[in-house]
Amino acid sequence: MIMKSGKLIISLSILLAIMLQGIAINAQSQEQKITIGYIKPGRIDVKAFVLLKETTIMAEGYGGLFKKLGNDLMFYGWILDSKSRKVVWNLLEDANDKFFERSDPGRFGFKKEVKLPAGQYEVYYAAGMNYNRFGSNNVDIRISDLGDLFNLIFSEINDNNDNYNSSYASKFSMSITASSAVFSEVAWDKKVNEFSSNALISIVRAGDDLSVKKSFTVANDINLNIMEIGEQSDGDLNDFAWIVNANTYEKIWPNSETRFKKAGGGSKNKSTFQTIRLPKGTYTLHYISDDSHSYDKWNVLPPYDPQFWGITVWPDEADKSKVKTIEQEDPFVLKLNKAKNNAYLSQGFTLKKDMKIRVLSQGESSGDFDMADYGWIVNTDTHTTVWEFTQRKGQYAGGGEKNKIVNQEIDLPKGNYVAYFVTDDSHAYGDWNVAPPLVPELWGISILVNSDKDSFVLTDAQSASSNSQILAEIVRVRDDERIRKSFSLDKETKVRIFAIGEGDDGDLVDLGWIKNSNTDKIVWEMTYRTSERAGGADKNRLYDGTIVLPAGDYTVYYETDGSHSYRDWNDTPPYDQEHYGITVYRIQ
């Protein structure tokens, strides 16, 4: 009886082992699948998975290539290593010889085994444009939006000849399959979110029309790592960032060693990674994106790492305690910015002592060695232009090529000044006709002072000059005016005459002159030959000189024609608009 019981126990043990082995084999044979596919024009689909050990996965589904209007519409997918951010498989490359080398294969199926090491991965599927892949420039039809081309494609390949419908679009997809014992789906945004949250500053999955400013302070020298993926087109930076010194606004990064490379997808997708050495100080990161081609909606093929569209900066592990983000106070002592179209802005200021100031100005280049939106500073005691925004001084300000910036430190003597900024009728703050500059709100002129800010005092622009020596003043003259003013001298006196008018082809049409009131003879007259350019349009003329007048009574005259005068300019105005007319000063 005992022997029989022992045999039964052995038999049951063998049966149990066989059953457990079968369960294990069955578990290993079970597969897990994740599927992604086309969503809608300009959008990507993404999921993520983890492999517990090296595994061969199966990537299969449908891609597409349709050539229309001289361009390509592509449906494709790829796999990204979530840690290294490197592409480990890409349908565009894997299927290139078989399908994408053809001019128009349409929809095609694919099935590919891919061996991957243990780790976390992201799988993407996108549909987008690859403009003129075959070099064709013969495009007879213009499309206003990517969706127009999708509708055109789907209307041709749909049996019912209807416009785009989601049921057909759903046939563009791909799946990743592997054993459930080693393969599992995870949150697609987990890795990027973890990295971003641990960075000093991180702007990821950046959308359209962003303008972000983040400041940070560095206690001691650090290594700062910078990773950026953005948009560059025809040399213009559209979705991008700069790091500037928060006190001087001097650009720290990108620098001469920064190199941008292709980021996959459309040719305008660019990326860079760089480590820079930052000394002790305070810095501000500015980031801007334009109104198209971003994580919100791609208008060409997206980059291979679309989640990191934006910028992320972080210090080396050893430097983390030396740097922190802060709320930076506005460093400017004078701001004439956010200048809109057809603006004429002015702000007076007084320097109580000789000072060093920094002028920061953003404006528009006209493209012909001249500026369309620009600023300048006038010493109102002497009526001399002490600083002006010229094409030669301007550097690229980001966005459209014509956006220019000047950041210049200058020395000014004690005295009274007026800062001016003017714009033409297009491309200004809030109404850009190309991509805006990196810091749109600084469109205009601003002044920084690093020390002794109490010696810099804002004043009324129209009363910034000292009037104690004015004998006669006719200024801010409008169209079709003839104005006169009188003065008397009790002895022979040296006087200064400051006059601004309009002239062309050797003649003046807005001008001034002085008569001896007793003899009715002209003792001085403004002429084209004795005048010089007054800034702005060539026809703006300036006389600034001295004469000696004997004792007597005098009358100052100024007249204008029917166009181009104070606040009603038909061309670029002169620099010192407030003194359009004539002023006579006594020289002591």
d(CA 444, CA 405): 10
3-state secondary structure of 372: strand
Choose one of 326, 349, 371: the last residue of a domain: 326
Q: What is the dihedral of CA 241, 244, 247, 250, to 10 degrees?
A: -130
Same domain, 475 and 564: yes
d(CA 539, CA 532): 9
Q: What is the 3-state secondary structure (H, E, C) of 324-341?
A: EEECCCCCEEEEECCCCC
Same domain, 304 and 260: yes
Same domain, 355 and 307: no
Same domain, 133 and 230: no
289: Cβ contacts below 8 Å, ≥ 6 apart: 206, 207, 208, 209, 210, 230, 231, 238, 239
60: Cβ contacts below 8 Å, ≥ 6 apart: 109, 110, 111, 112, 174, 175, 177
Residues of the domain holding 533: 470-586
d(CA 42, CA 356): 51
Same domain, 304 and 360: no
317: Cβ contacts below 8 Å, ≥ 6 apart: none
Choose one of 136, 170, 186: the last residue of a domain: 186
Same domain, 142 and 111: yes
The answer to the question of residue 474 being in a domain is yes
Same domain, 170 and 44: yes
Q: What is the 3-state secondary structure (H, E, C) of 294-316?
A: ECCECCCCCCCCHHHCEEEEEEC
The answer to the question of residue 179 being in a domain is yes
Return the closest-CA partner of residue 476 out of 500, 498, 505, 446. 500
Going by the DSSP 8-state scheme, the letter that residue 462 receives in this structure is G
Going by the DSSP 8-state scheme, the letter that residue 470 receives in this structure is E
Question: For residue 254, is the peptide bond before it cis, meaning its omega torsion is within 30 degrees of 0?
Answer: yes
- Yes or no: say if 31 and 176 are a contact pair by the CB < 8 Å rule: no
Q: State if pTM tops 0.75.
A: yes
| Whole-Å CA distances, 559 to 379, 554, 566, 582 | 25, 17, 12, 10
The C-alpha angle 227, 228, 234, rounded to 5 degrees, equals 145
The answer to the question of residue 306 being in a domain is yes
Q: What is the 3-state secondary structure (H, E, C) of 31-97?
A: EEEEEEECCCCCCEEEEEEEECCCEEEEEEEEEEEEEECCEEEEEEEEEEECCCCCEEEEHHHHCHH
CATH of the domain at 397: 2.60.120.380
d(CA 557, CA 472): 10
d(CA 199, CA 207): 19
Tokens (6 digits) for 430: 């809030």
Same domain, 100 and 151: yes
Tokens (6 digits) for 460: 């009324």
DSSP 439-485: SGGGBEEEEE-SS-GGGEEEE-GGG-S--TTEEEEE-S--TT-EEEE
The answer to the question of residue 352 being in a domain is yes
Return the closest-CA partner of residue 579 out of 395, 318, 381, 389. 381
Averages of pLDDT over runs of 10 residues in the chain (588 residues) are: 57 61 55 92 93 97 77 87 96 73 75 96 90 41 43 46 48 94 96 96 96 96 97 86 94 95 93 97 95 92 97 97 93 96 93 97 86 92 90 91 96 95 93 91 95 92 70 96 97 96 95 97 97 92 96 98 93 88 92
Q: What is the model's pLDDT at position 427?
A: 96
| Beta strands at 581-586 and 522-525: parallel, antiparallel or unpaired | unpaired
What single letter denotes the amino acid at residue 447?
I
The answer to the question of residue 20 being in a domain is no
3-state secondary structure of 156: helix
3-state secondary structure of 17: helix
The answer to the question of residue 350 being in a domain is yes
Same domain, 309 and 200: yes
Phi, psi (deg, nearest 5) at residue 196:
-60, -40
Number of independent structural domains in the chain = 4
CATH of the domain at 308: 2.60.120
d(CA 443, CA 403): 9
Q: What is the model's pLDDT at position 131?
A: 60
Q: What is the model's pLDDT at position 138?
A: 36
The answer to the question of residue 5 being in a domain is no
Same domain, 237 and 283: yes
Q: List, for residues 366-382, the tens digit of each pLDDT value.
A: 877 788 999 999 998 88
| Whole-Å CA distances, 398 to 23, 241, 253, 311, 406 | 63, 9, 13, 16, 12
| Whole-Å CA distances, 361 to 351, 410, 447 | 20, 13, 9
DSSP 523-561: EEE--TTT-EE-SSSTTEEEEEEEEEE-SEEEEEEEE--
| Beta strands at 355-365 and 310-315: parallel, antiparallel or unpaired | unpaired
- Yes or no: say if 100 and 113 are a contact pair by the CB < 8 Å rule: no
Residue 54, burial from CB neighbour count under 10 angstroms (0-12, 13-18, 19+) = exposed
Tokens (6 digits) for 354: 């000789």
Q: What is the model's pLDDT at position 97?
A: 60
Instruction: Tell me, rounded to whole angstroms, the distance of Cα 42 from its chain centroid.
Output: 22
d(CA 539, CA 219): 54
d(CA 132, CA 129): 9
d(CA 105, CA 97): 12
Neighbours of 300 (CB within 10 A): 21
- Looking up tokens 């800034």, which residue turns up? 535
- Looking up tokens 């720290």, which residue turns up? 252
Same domain, 441 and 564: no
Q: Count CA atoms closer than 13 A to 526's CA, side-chain side.
A: 31
Region of 362 (left: φ > 0; alpha: ψ -120 to 50; beta: rest) is beta
d(CA 333, CA 450): 10
Q: What is the model's pLDDT at position 158?
A: 44
Region of 115 (left: φ > 0; alpha: ψ -120 to 50; beta: rest) is beta
The answer to the question of residue 24 being in a domain is no
- Yes or no: say if 64 and 216 are a contact pair by the CB < 8 Å rule: no
Choose one of 291, 326, 361: the last residue of a domain: 326
Phi, psi (deg, nearest 5) at residue 526:
-75, 130
Tokens (6 digits) for 175: 């799946």
Same domain, 265 and 368: no
